[in-house]
Amino acid sequence: MAKLFTAALIISFSVPLLLAHDDWEKTRSIAEAQHEIVMLLIKNKQYDKVLPASKKILTLNFPLNREHQLVDHARLASSALGEQGNYTLAHQLLDEALKAVHNKKSKATLFKEKALLCSKNGQDGQAMKFLEEAVKLEENP
């Protein structure tokens, strides 16, 4: 009887964890594939499809401790767009990412990325503003 009770207790604790793990695995897998799609779209210069594809990742319910992955996705995609000279879309993508993240550190990193894009595009004044935003966020975490 005791063994049965112990087994039931273990199962009752581990099932939600396993289910949560499965949920996360599903989300991660979708995001992984979608990121590849975004990067391929950028590579093939199909710019009109980039933002909707990226939004599919950004609207996934990412836990707070995984938010840095969303930030990395936005940084990589916007950087690739910047390298192709499409700064407008790069900024739009980063703006969408800024809406999706909640952590101040994540937001600060995205602002820095925007500043970097502006700096590469010769908009030093604008870059300065974004850096100031980033510094402000980092100073009040």
Partner 1 sequence: MTMECRIYTESLTALMDGELPPDDTKTIRAHLLVCRSCDAEYRSLLFSYNLVGNIQLIDSQPAAWTVIENRIRTAREKRGFLRRLLFPNIWVPVGALGTLVLVAASVFWFIPSQNKSDTQAMQQILRSYIQERNREFGDGAVRVVNYNPFRDNNRRPKGNPFKTE
Q: Which of 110, 127, 133, 137 binds partner 1 (CB under 8 A)?
A: 127
Comparison of 9 and 36: residue with beta carbon closer to partner 1? 36
Q: What is the DSSP letter of 45?
A: T
Amino acid identity at 77:
A
Contact 31, 57 (CB under 8 A): yes
- Taking residues 44 to 63 in sequence order and writing x for each that binds partner 1 by CB under 8 A, - otherwise, the string is -------------x------
Binder of partner 1 out of 47, 55, 56, 76 (CB under 8 A) = 76
For residue 121, the minimal CB distance to partner 1 (Å) is 13
Is there binding between residue 107 and partner 1 (CB under 8 A)? no
CB atoms within 10 A of CB 64: 10
Binding-site member from 58, 93, 94, 115 for partner 1 (CB under 8 A): 115
CB 63 within 8 A of CB 25: no
Token couple for 90: 């790069």
Q: Does residue 114 interact with partner 1 by CB under 8 A?
A: no
Phi-psi region of 134 (alpha: psi -120 to 50; beta: other; left: phi over 0): alpha
- Give the range of 4-12, 87-95, 97-105, 123-131 binding partner 1 by CB under 8 A: 123-131
- Cβ-count burial of 123 within 10 angstroms (0-12 exposed, 13-18 middle, 19+ buried)? middle
CA dist 89 and 97 (Å) reads 12
Which residues form the interface with partner 1 (CB under 8 A)?
25, 28-29, 31-32, 35-36, 39, 43, 57, 68-69, 72-73, 75-76, 79-80, 83, 112, 115-116, 119, 124, 127-128, 131-132, 134-135
